[in-house]
Structure 1
Amino acid sequence: MNQTIVNDKYKVSPFYVFFLVHSMQIGLGVLSFQRDLAKVTGTDGWISIILAGLIVHILIWVIYKIFSMVPGDIISANNHAFGKWMGNFFSLLFILYFFVLGMTIIIGYINILHVWMFDEVPSWMFALVFLILIYYIISGGFRSVTGITFLSLIASYWLLFIPLYTLKFAYFTDLLPIFNHTLLEIMKGTRTTSLSMLGFEMILMFYPFIKNAEKTQKYAHGGALATTLLILFIYFVSKAFYSQSLLVLTLWPTLTLSSIIELPFIQRFEYITVSWWALVIIPNMVIPLWAASRGVKRLFNVQQKYPLWAMSIIILLINIFLFDFEALDILNKLINPYSVSFLVLYLPFLFIILSIKNLRKRL
């Protein structure tokens, strides 16, 4: 059950870690983080973004240190640190977190589709389409998951044209004043931004599927750095384009930027943005559900397709019996207050426990 050896034919090249980390961090959070950040830190939000980026880099370093002591995945590390039963309990928490994260992303994007484009189409119809696609990708193995992640990221970077286009309407004096918020406000902003930078923790599950994984830390840091720079860029553009009062009232500032683009051959450019964002968001749906179903496979020694079927049915039922915005509100209340705190506290704690155990063995 605790065997984590993966055949080389199922592994992917080291540089794909960059895309797996970077793509997983670019999701729904990029569409709305400016609003939450502006409420707390105003013009000093860039400080919070940089601090959040530093925290992510520290946690990535901690993850690789953990796996240098216990090669494998988070389930192997938990069992080695706490024994079978307590280790399995913590592993179940991670599996639940991965599942809820994937479900939140699916329902969150369906909510965007409802608001911006298809307000009369039932949520379960969108969910069914996405779940069939997710199952098809995951059934192809982790190499298929990585391939889709790579292609979706490469094919989506043209979207940077949107914030670049809006620069001609920007007032950069709106970025002033700086350093006019307290340290407590900056730290609250860091926590808010951290929610938009989650995704790097998927390394905890896909680490065994990377060739020469112990040498891929630089790619993981590179992916996190690319995300931090992208979020900084979008934040500066948004602050320069929106006034402070307007920004805190705009639900999806990044999407709303595209509504000002006028082209002679298309009237509503935001429809293209919302539709193309499906390509951006697919890895955010696939990777957490792959990680959750892989975790169940590892814990209970079942084929991965069975937990994936069960998770898909649960997500579909939630979309049938709960309106998407109601389900999204419940899920956000579950995952937002606890996910960052859990990772920030647990991963260093696990690292300390494993270090102590290794030290005892040497002595």
Structure 2
Amino acid sequence: MNQAGVNEKYKVSPFYVYFLMHSMQTGLGVLNFQRDLAKATGTDGWISIILAGLIVHILIWLIYKIFSIVPGDIISANNHAWGKWVGNFFSLLFILYFFVLGMTIIIGYINVLHVWMFKEVPSWAFALVFLAMIYYIITGGFRTITGIAFLSVIVSFWLLFIPLYGFKYADFTSFLPIFDHTLIEIMKGTRSTSLSMLGFEMILMFYPFIKNPEASQKYAHGGALSTTLLLLLLYFVSTVFYSQKQLALTLWPTLTLTSIIELPFIQRFEYITVSWWNIVIITNMVLPLWAASRGIKRLFNVQQKYPLWVMFMIILLVNIFFFDLESLHILNKMINPYSVSFLVLYLPLLLVLLSIKKWRKRL
């Protein structure tokens, strides 16, 4: 057992961190990040994506440095740095963030289903099905969650042919001019890309579930690099497929791109993409809610199923009484950019505090 109370039999190999990282970062943001990026940076959006990727790699490095000082999870690190009461306050902020992130992803995907496929089906019906599936996976334990993450990455590789199909109608002059935007505009684009890059911070909770966790850092960076390359590919294809005005007005550029695909046996190919995306996005729904319920279990010493039930009730009630585009917009604003700014500011501060405490102990 380690500081976070994880038995060896529940741990996974370091190799699987690649799949946990990449599957968590590949979610709703992949469907529509191009729109906000095009508004901010136009043809220079690729620079913003590279910068966002570099920031993620730095934050992953910071997380592993934190856990090299305090083995465990973010709750152990917070308590070590701040003491019990202040540490628990910051831990509650992380738990709230994980919960809101999970709820945003569920509501966001239900919105996609409403717009593209099932307009008449009430949102609470979709929520009920997803919550039942999420509960089944979470109660199966972290190894089950890891298996789902592995599956979601493997079975989604065929989707890469969709952006490649877009080259058939590409106008490569649309990618010009380059280096045509100011640094401030590039940074705004980096901020708008951040929602697509979120997910790496889940390692703050599942770090104790990794065997020999120090060896998993290269796989965490590999997963983040794969996400960055995927976003670069999608943005490049979208830029040469749409005009800049079209890209700024298209709500879901990736899904709209799939609607041009026609096969002899199916004409509405976007239906396949939207349905298949459930397999891709399921890790996005499961891991944040697992992290939130795991955090409550650690803080208050209760069984994990009880906070899960409470969170599921809240999500279901939101879908029954408050589900609309405005509520989804508010949730997105809570997640991006405030949560990103919090992570960028808090993790370096936490590392500095832990390093000072470690240095004082040596004196």
User: Normalised by the size of structure 1, how large is the TM-score?
Assistant: 0.99
Distance in 2, Cα, partners of 1:195 & 1:316: 23
Partner of 2:152: 152
Partner of 1:38: 38
Does the 8 Å CA contact 1:45/1:186 hold for their aligned counterparts? yes
Per-residue CA deviation, residues 207-263 of structure 1 (Å, 9 max, x unaligned), is 000000011100000000000001001000000100000000000000000000011
Does residue 359 (structure 1) correspond to residue 359 (structure 2)? The answer is yes
The one-letter code matched in structure 2 to 1:350 is: L
Partner of 1:212: 212
Distance in 1, Cα, partners of 2:84 & 2:354: 15
Aligned length: 362
Partner of 1:236: 236
Partner of 1:164: 164
Distance in 2, Cα, partners of 1:189 & 1:356: 35
Distance in 2, Cα, partners of 1:113 & 1:4: 38
The one-letter code matched in structure 2 to 1:6 is: V
Does the 8 Å CA contact 1:11/1:143 hold for their aligned counterparts? yes
The one-letter code matched in structure 1 to 2:350 is: L
Distance in 2, Cα, partners of 1:132 & 1:297: 20
Superposition map of 1:156-195 within 5 A: 156-195=156-195
The one-letter code matched in structure 1 to 2:108 is: G
Partner of 1:337: 337
Distance in 2, Cα, partners of 1:136 & 1:302: 19
Does the 8 Å CA contact 1:258/1:270 hold for their aligned counterparts? yes
Q: CA deviation at 1:330?
A: 2.0
Partner of 1:202: 202
Does the 8 Å CA contact 2:202/2:291 hold for their aligned counterparts? yes
Q: SS at the partner of 1:280?
A: helix
Q: CA deviation at 1:327?
A: 2.4
Per-residue CA deviation, residues 5-48 of structure 1 (Å, 9 max, x unaligned), is 31111001110000000110000000011100000000111111
Distance in 2, Cα, partners of 1:114 & 1:48: 31
Distance in 2, Cα, partners of 1:180 & 1:35: 18
Task: Extract unaligned runs of 5+ from structure 1.
Answer: none
Q: CA 1:324–1:145 in structure 2 vs 1: closer, same or farther (change >3 Å)?
A: farther
Does the 8 Å CA contact 2:195/2:335 hold for their aligned counterparts? no
Distance in 1, Cα, partners of 2:87 & 2:214: 23
Q: SS at the partner of 1:12?
A: coil
Partner of 1:112: 112
Q: CA deviation at 1:3?
A: 4.1
Per-residue CA deviation, residues 176-218 of structure 1 (Å, 9 max, x unaligned), is 1111100011111111111210000000000000000011100
Superposition map of 1:26-105 within 5 A: 26-105=26-105
Q: CA deviation at 1:172?
A: 1.0
Q: CA deviation at 1:337?
A: 2.7
Q: CA deviation at 1:329?
A: 1.7
Structure 1 window deviating more from structure 2 (215-224 vs 333-342): it is: 333-342
Structure 1 window deviating more from structure 2 (96-105 vs 164-173): it is: 164-173
Does the 8 Å CA contact 1:123/1:324 hold for their aligned counterparts? no
The one-letter code matched in structure 2 to 1:296 is: I
Q: CA deviation at 1:288?
A: 0.3
Distance in 2, Cα, partners of 1:323 & 1:62: 37
User: Normalised by the size of structure 2, how large is the TM-score?
Assistant: 0.99
Does residue 19 (structure 1) correspond to residue 10 (structure 2)? The answer is no
Distance in 2, Cα, partners of 1:3 & 1:357: 18
The one-letter code matched in structure 2 to 1:267 is: Q
Percent of paired sites with the same residue: 82
Does residue 282 (structure 1) correspond to residue 282 (structure 2)? The answer is yes
Partner of 2:293: 293
Q: CA deviation at 1:302?
A: 0.2
Distance in 1, Cα, partners of 2:288 & 2:5: 21
Does the 8 Å CA contact 1:72/1:207 hold for their aligned counterparts? yes
Task: Extract unaligned runs of 5+ from structure 2.
Answer: none
The one-letter code matched in structure 1 to 2:220 is: A
Distance in 2, Cα, partners of 1:23 & 1:90: 26
Q: SS at the partner of 2:211?
A: coil
Does the 8 Å CA contact 2:296/2:304 hold for their aligned counterparts? yes
Distance in 2, Cα, partners of 1:343 & 1:92: 14
Distance in 2, Cα, partners of 1:190 & 1:325: 24
Does the 8 Å CA contact 2:294/2:304 hold for their aligned counterparts? yes
Per-residue CA deviation, residues 144-185 of structure 1 (Å, 9 max, x unaligned), is 000011011101111111111111100111111111100011
Distance in 1, Cα, partners of 2:114 & 2:279: 17
Distance in 2, Cα, partners of 1:50 & 1:333: 23
Does residue 317 (structure 1) correspond to residue 322 (structure 2)? The answer is no
